[in-house]
Structure 1
Amino acid sequence: MSSKHFINDPTHLVLSALKSITLTNPTTALDEENKIVYLRPDAAKQQVSIISGGGSGHEPSFAAFVGPGLLSGAVAGTIFASPGAEQVRRCIGERVETGKGVLVVVMNYTGDVLNFGMAVEKAKAAGVQVEMVVMGDDAGVGRAQGGKVGRRGIAGTVLVHKIAGALAAEGAELKDVHRVAKTVAENTVSIGSSLMHVHVPGREAGGEEELGQSEVEIGMGIHNEPGSEKSKEDLPGIVKRMLKYMLDQSDKDRAFSNISSSNETVLLVNNLGGVSVLEMGGITTEVVNQLQQTYSIKPVRIISGTFMTSLNGLGFSLSLLKLQDTGVSKSMLELLDAPAEASGWSAAVKSSTWANPPTKTRDAGSGSTGQNKPCGISIDPKQADKALRNALRKLIAAEPDITKYDTVVGDGDCGIGLKRGAEGILSYLDEGKNEQDAALFLDGIISVVEKTMDGTSGALYAIFLNALAGGIRQQGSSSSQSADPAIWAKALKAALDAMSKYTPAQPGDRTLVDALQPFVETLEKSKSVDEAAKAAEQGSAKTKGMKASLGRTVYVGGSGFEEVPDPGAHGLAVFFKGLGEGLD
């Protein structure tokens, strides 16, 4: 786990984080002494107030959910520790509207339940209408283990917040808001998994248990509490185990919510803080696929994002809500979809869009782009195939050297990118299209390059090759002719000029242009591919010791450039040499 933090003073960290809520949402205010973020009295009409809170470290829960349509107040403790009863009492009695009553939502941890409960009883004694809902949705804790304490509260809590908050904003009475919130809590089941424990700022490093490199802890709590089991699984295996804990009705220790394919459900895929947005997308797709394939469950709402974290926890949690009749004018779905002006709530798709989703697509071939036409300049397909195959195989064989050079002066992906493109073109040649038109032949190569090569070099090659095909077409005429070195040289010069519009690279900048331009210029003069290939090789060799002016090497820095040539120029020179050999 990482024990490095930008802010190591936990007190300063919590207070500055709470302050940020008021900076990003003008409807909120901060009682700094009591660590309460609350809704400004002129930000919303009078309604039942929804209060929640707990230890810090779970952001955006709870403070960032304060705003019209969601929470009226949030009380923060120190990191992973419950706020005190006096803090909660002040929130209820001094910081929120109490005229229509107050609903307190608290997660099932002993400190939270006791401190919030004490404040609730004090408020009741003072004549305030207050109800409390305790959320325990964690299937990672079975009945036997939970005993009288029950299940822990985790990310499913935010569904209670959202639905109760929206109902309160509709002007509902406290009894209805309380009942609906309790119904949501009773019909939600969740579980989390993490690849490692987290380090709390301000604590000495080394106190937390480490997981092995390939281990995952299924059911880990949001405060580093032990999970149900440790396992060595890939993502599909992890998701399979998590869903089994949540949905297996034969597991009497954990069959908390009887959800079947006949039920309408809401799925919440929650980032515990340290998973990239990219991976969250992959996780969400895996979960949805398994729910449908294994359980025939197709959620009517899928919410994926960061809602309740465990600091920078490298894990995620799943929550399933079985929808129930609310007994009021708005359904759970409508309340879930209702807008909320809170910086921490990020599900923005309207009910009407979910109910009537757009169905049209733009399938391949439906666009307005027409097919490229032949140019009338012919090539010998067998000769082109032989030369290209030789050049591509030489390039693939050179990949280890190119990668080694790029590891020294770049980010190490140049060789792999060139190899991937070369392999793609070889596969295309294996299809045996036997195309004789020079421009159409290039079009086929271009389509492969555009699909298989990414990054800067991929874009440059695609631009160059498209311009090369254009240069060939410009020389076509009504009478058929063969593509000789003079025609190719003229087209190559046009392609080089076109590429210069998109990159300022010139020979001497340590880029692939150091090999490309000598090849083009020499072919134009000599009409010999072998001579041009030698010029490209010489140009590549000159880049050894040349300081880069363009490309990622500029940012990488270091002294490695003194010992190795530019990897892109070297790869291109290898290709040109193989091309010349293949034409002999």
Structure 2
Amino acid sequence: MSSKHFISDPTKLVNDALHSLTITNPTVALDADNKIIYRRPTNAPSQVSLLSGGGSGHEPSFAGMVGPGILSAAVAGTIFASPSAEQVRNGVISRVDTEKGVLVVVMNYTGDVLSFGMAVEKAKAAGVECEMVVVGDDVGVGRAKGGKVGRRGIAGTVLVIKIAGALAAQGKPLSEVAKAARLTAENLVSVGASLDHVHVPGRAISTEHTLEAGEVEIGMGIHNEDGSGRAKIGLPDLVKTMLSQLLDQSDKDRAFVDVKSNQVVLLINNLGSVSVLEMGGITTEVVSQLESTYNIKPARVLSGMYMTSLNGLGFSISLLNTVDIGGPSMIELLDAPSEAPGWAAPIQASTWEAKNTAERTSSSKLDEAKKPSGQTMNVADEKSALNSALEAVIAAEPEVTQYDTVVGDGDCGIGLKRGAEAVLKHISTSPLTGDVLTDLAGIVPVIENNMDGTSGALYAIFLNALVHALQAPAPGALTPQTWAAALQQSCDALSKYTPARPGDRTLVDALYPFVEILGKTGSLAEAANAARKAAVETKGMQASLGRSVYVGGSGFTQVPDPGAWGLSCLFLGLAGLPSKE
């Protein structure tokens, strides 16, 4: 777990975070003494007020969900600790409109249930019409272990408050809003998983619950609680296990809801520290398995941060089995407009309902370049040279990566290797024809699809230009001079898109000497050696372009330019020469 924090004082952290909401959302105000975020009074007609809350550390729940169409107020405790009953009482009595009644929604944790329950009873005694709904959606802890306490409340709770908040905004009475909230809670199942526990700012560092490398806590709660077990498991099997806990009706310890509605809602919640990129991969895996294993195609898919566990390196899956609530459907209420920074559902209902599956067909003029040109090479010689060149690039990956780690972001070697491996696979499944233009045109899209970053773009531009240049020579066997002329034309094309020139410490430092010497001597070996010499000479050369400019430091004095070195390895392999320095 990471124990580094920009704000290590937990009191200041919570107070400042609550204050920030009044800065980013003009519709809310802060009762700092009671840690209550509440909607500012307006001239809008009275409606049922909706109040929730709990310990801090789960942002954007719940303070970030205060706003029109969702919560009227949220009461915050300290990190992972329930607010006091007095805090909640102040929220119910003085920070929300009580004319139409108040619905309190709370997660099923003992401290929360007691504090919010006590406040509800005090509000009732003061004459406020008030009801409370307790949400327990977590299946990570089954019936046997949960005992009388029941299921914990986790991320599915946000679906309850959104549905109830939307119904309240429509002017429905407290009885209907509370009924909808209860039916939503009763038809929810959720489960989480995490790669590690989290460190709470201000607390001593503990390694007692630290997970081993590659180990996952399945069923972890949102307060660092242990789950149902640990396993060293990949994402597909992890998702399979989690979905089984949610949906397997033969598991009597966890078969809380029979999810069989025609309109199922899927919520994939980021516990705080999973990258947006990985969340995308997780979402794809979950949706794929839901359809292939359970024939469930969610009517709505929500993916993002809704209820975190500080910077928890994990996610949870929630499924809502939508049922009739005697009015607007649950789906309609989830789609209903709201204005709160913590509720992220930007796709309109009409877009979901359109179910547009149309696609554009692709067309490419590259197919024209694949037509035989009559410029030929011996197929065996062509394949041998290409194999040698590509294998040299693959073999050089560790040293190129090491160089790029010193002066860049460490991805140059991997990118070159990925491209080389892809081309090798391509020529093994699509045999070379001996027609240079046809073969090169077939390789270009492989490079485009498998090499990313700046190097990938430079290689793709250069090779596309080379395809164009090779369309000019007359049919026949290509000579070194013909190749050099075509390569020079490609260099000229490349120079239109990058200011890189020899001396700027880029792959161009190796490219230009190769083309120049090949044209002068007609010797592939001499040209390759010239490229290697130029690559070596980039050591100590101050970078003018590329990531090295931003990295700074003295690394450029220690290693050659990674891109130039990798390209020189390709040329040496092409010439059948060893590529070691």
TM-score (ref. length: structure 1)? 0.93
CA contact (8 A) 1:545 1:562 kept: yes
In structure 2, what residue type is equivalent to 1:312? Answer: N
2:320 — aligned with what?
Answer: 321
CA contact (8 A) 1:27 1:43 kept: no
User: Alpha-carbon deviation of 1:141?
Assistant: 2.5
Shift of the 194–575 alpha-carbon distance from structure 1 to 2, 3 Å rule, reads closer
In structure 1, what residue type is equivalent to 2:508? Answer: V
1:458 — aligned with what?
Answer: 456
1:379 — aligned with what?
Answer: 376
Q: Distance in 2 between matches of 1:161 and 1:98?
A: 18
1:281 paired with 2:276, answer no
1:443 — aligned with what?
Answer: 441
Q: Secondary structure at the match of 2:468?
A: helix
Q: Distance in 1 between matches of 2:301 and 2:430?
A: 46
CA contact (8 A) 2:535 2:560 kept: yes
1:92 — aligned with what?
Answer: 92
Q: Distance in 2 between matches of 1:107 and 1:149?
A: 12
CA contact (8 A) 2:263 2:299 kept: yes
1:52 paired with 2:52, answer yes
1:33 — aligned with what?
Answer: 33
Q: Secondary structure at the match of 2:226?
A: coil
User: Alpha-carbon deviation of 1:491?
Assistant: 2.1
Shift of the 39–416 alpha-carbon distance from structure 1 to 2, 3 Å rule, reads same
User: Alpha-carbon deviation of 1:390?
Assistant: 2.9
Same amino acid, percent of matched pairs = 63
In structure 2, what residue type is equivalent to 1:128? Answer: V
1:561 to 544, 556, 559: 556
CA contact (8 A) 1:339 1:348 kept: no
In structure 2, what residue type is equivalent to 1:209? Answer: H
Shift of the 63–208 alpha-carbon distance from structure 1 to 2, 3 Å rule, reads farther
Q: Deviations over 1:162-216 (max 9, x none)?
A: 0001111111111110111111011111111222111111112127522222322
CA contact (8 A) 1:199 1:208 kept: no
1:264 — aligned with what?
Answer: 263
CA contact (8 A) 1:35 1:76 kept: yes
CA contact (8 A) 2:7 2:13 kept: yes
In structure 1, what residue type is equivalent to 2:244? Answer: K
Select between 374-383 and 248-257 the one with higher mean Cα deviation.
374-383
In structure 2, what residue type is equivalent to 1:59? Answer: E
Q: Distance in 1 between matches of 2:551 and 2:76?
A: 43
CA contact (8 A) 1:467 1:495 kept: yes
Structure 2 counterparts to residues 72-471 of structure 1, below 5 A: 72-206=72-206, 209-260=209-260, 263-328=262-327, 330-365=328-363, 371-372=368-369, 376=373, 378-382=375-379, 383-431=381-429, 433-435=431-433, 437-471=435-469
Q: Secondary structure at the match of 1:29?
A: strand
Select between 86-95 and 162-171 the one with higher mean Cα deviation.
86-95
CA contact (8 A) 1:377 1:483 kept: no
Shift of the 500–156 alpha-carbon distance from structure 1 to 2, 3 Å rule, reads same
Shift of the 370–208 alpha-carbon distance from structure 1 to 2, 3 Å rule, reads same
User: Alpha-carbon deviation of 1:544?
Assistant: 2.4
Q: Distance in 2 between matches of 1:466 and 1:104?
A: 64
Q: Deviations over 1:537-561 (max 9, x none)?
A: 2211211232333222333444443
Shift of the 531–240 alpha-carbon distance from structure 1 to 2, 3 Å rule, reads closer
Q: Distance in 2 between matches of 1:432 and 1:327?
A: 62
Q: Deviations over 1:485-536 (max 9, x none)?
A: 3332222222212212222222222211111111122233334333322321
User: Alpha-carbon deviation of 1:356?
Assistant: 2.1
In structure 2, what residue type is equivalent to 1:88? Answer: V
User: Alpha-carbon deviation of 1:268?
Assistant: 1.1
1:532 — aligned with what?
Answer: 527
Q: Distance in 2 between matches of 1:78 and 1:195?
A: 24
In structure 1, what residue type is equivalent to 2:184? Answer: V
CA contact (8 A) 1:506 1:514 kept: yes
Q: Secondary structure at the match of 1:100?
A: coil
Q: Secondary structure at the match of 2:506?
A: coil
CA contact (8 A) 2:366 2:441 kept: no
Q: Secondary structure at the match of 2:563?
A: helix
Q: Deviations over 1:263-298 (max 9, x none)?
A: 532111111111111221222222222222333323
Q: Distance in 2 between matches of 1:104 and 1:295?
A: 34
In structure 1, what residue type is equivalent to 2:507? Answer: L
Q: Distance in 2 between matches of 1:127 and 1:61?
A: 29
2:504 — aligned with what?
Answer: 509
Q: Secondary structure at the match of 2:442?
A: helix
CA contact (8 A) 1:43 1:68 kept: no
User: Alpha-carbon deviation of 1:259?
Assistant: 2.3
Shift of the 433–140 alpha-carbon distance from structure 1 to 2, 3 Å rule, reads closer
Q: Distance in 2 between matches of 1:142 and 1:442?
A: 60
CA contact (8 A) 2:269 2:304 kept: yes
2:566 — aligned with what?
Answer: 571
User: Alpha-carbon deviation of 1:425?
Assistant: 2.2
CA contact (8 A) 1:505 1:511 kept: yes
Structure 2 gaps of 5+ residues are none
Shift of the 93–457 alpha-carbon distance from structure 1 to 2, 3 Å rule, reads same
Shift of the 560–79 alpha-carbon distance from structure 1 to 2, 3 Å rule, reads same
Q: Deviations over 1:349-392 (max 9, x none)?
A: 22222222111012443x78874475956122424334333322
Shift of the 255–441 alpha-carbon distance from structure 1 to 2, 3 Å rule, reads closer
Q: Distance in 1 between matches of 2:196 and 2:176?
A: 41
CA contact (8 A) 2:54 2:62 kept: yes
CA contact (8 A) 2:393 2:420 kept: yes
Structure 2 counterparts to residues 2-41 of structure 1, below 5 A: 2-41=2-41
Q: Secondary structure at the match of 2:249?
A: coil
RMSD between aligned alpha carbons? 2.3
CA contact (8 A) 1:58 1:309 kept: yes
User: Alpha-carbon deviation of 1:441?
Assistant: 3.1
Aligned residue pairs: how many?
576
Q: Distance in 2 between matches of 1:553 and 1:258?
A: 57
Q: Secondary structure at the match of 1:326?
A: coil
1:66 — aligned with what?
Answer: 66
User: Alpha-carbon deviation of 1:433?
Assistant: 4.7
In structure 2, what residue type is equivalent to 1:272? Answer: L
Q: Distance in 2 between matches of 1:493 and 1:369?
A: 21
Q: Secondary structure at the match of 2:82?
A: coil
TM-score (ref. length: structure 2)? 0.93
Select between 221-230 and 127-136 the one with higher mean Cα deviation.
221-230
Shift of the 43–424 alpha-carbon distance from structure 1 to 2, 3 Å rule, reads farther
Q: Deviations over 1:326-357 (max 9, x none)?
A: 101x1011001112111011112222222221
CA contact (8 A) 2:139 2:191 kept: yes
User: Alpha-carbon deviation of 1:432?
Assistant: 5.4
Q: Distance in 2 between matches of 1:225 and 1:423?
A: 45
In structure 1, what residue type is equivalent to 2:150? Answer: G
